[in-house]
Structure 1
Amino acid sequence: MSTPLAGRRGLRTLPQALAATVGANRPEGSDMVDEAYLLRPVGRVVSPLTDAASAPRQGDEGAPEAWLVFDAHVAPALRDLHAGADLLVLTWLDRARRDVLAVHPRGDGSRPETGVFSTRSPHRPNPIGLHRVRVLAVDGLRVRVADLEALDGTPVVDVKPVLGAADER
């Protein structure tokens, strides 16, 4: 399987036989139970970003405005979203590698190799993206956002509000 970053230096992978898939293949000796979890996208990202190599690594590093386009069956979930709100958007990084366990942060070979759970690398056993965005506009099933570095077509898994102080919840 070819991936956009397959040739990038500093990616360490599990042996091919242990490549992670949902509900299958776990490392020998693992006490984790094989379980599968069904995630259904609630929408997709529509963005001018189409190439991981030229996309910003984080949303606040120059990401263009983008749209979150939701499926009609979740329309009631959108009813209280409004311009100015800060949201956490969870995506499924569908072009990421799932067999990577350690990377050189930000692809910088001069930095020490680090386990992916201590990085924001998209390449990880379960490639869930976490993006803090600001709502710019809401138009039916479409939500215009700032600071989203996800690529065009990326599945949206969920959206949650950024919580304020405890007394504001």
Structure 2
Amino acid sequence: MSFRIRLDDLRGASVHALLREHLAGVALHSPPESIHALDLEGLRAPGMSFWTLWDGEELLACGALKELDATHGEVKSMRTAAAHLRRGAARAMLEHVVAEARRRGYRRLSLETGTAAAFEPAHRLYASAGFVPCGPFADYVDDPYSCFMTLEL
């Protein structure tokens, strides 16, 4: 499969639709106070890079990298469109984000995701890429609805 990943300006209608799908999916499985997914404004914040993954003109997935400090980044907004699951898009996006973190010289890449059964495919993807469970990082706090993982680079 030959995907094309591009740095995205968050202006396209298909990108907005995928982010709405992402936020709605997270809201189905986590209480509001435990949702850390970013909206458009959050993804446009300083220190944030956002990419989309395409097959031709079709948007398959998105992902973002937030700089926490000069040596630590955070994976954000990883989502594959429901119509394109199990095509390798999530793995390709995660590999891109990890490669970018390495290129930037980060020593660690972390993430927060949900703990509900619906997040189990994400847990497996992250574990297969070398991420291991960790405690809260950055501004996060212990939360039974949050799963924290990290990857030493």
| Superposition TM-score, scaled by structure 1 size | 0.24
Larger RCO: 1 or 2 (CA < 8 Å, sep 6+): 1
